[in-house]
Amino acid sequence: MTVDEHIAALHAFMRADHEEYIAQVRGWAVEAEAEGRSADARRHWDHVGRLEAMNKPWEAASRAA
């Protein structure tokens, strides 16, 4: 495995892990909304927004290429 392949594999893993976590937090937000816990829902939606706005190493690598 070359260095580039190794980096690509790490980026794929990080991206999948990050997207899975966003889906989990989004699920918490939806669940809180369904249960009428608006403050919790708002907090979770804010968290989703912060996660989506993060700098992502796998995107930086593709922009640099």
The pLDDT tens digits of the residues spanning 4-46 come to: 999 999 999 999 999 999 999 999 999 999 999 999 999 999 9
| Long-range Cβ contact pairs of 22-29 (< 8 A, separation 24 or more) | 22/48, 22/51, 22/52, 25/51
| Token duo for residue 5 | 């392949």
**Overall number of domains in the chain:** 1
Q: What is the pLDDT of residue 59?
A: 86
* pTM (predicted TM-score): 0.82
Range of the domain at 41: 3-64
Pair 48, 24: CB distance under 8 Å: no
Residue 29 CB coordination number (10 Å): 19
What CA–CA distance (Å, rounded) separates 18 from 14? 6
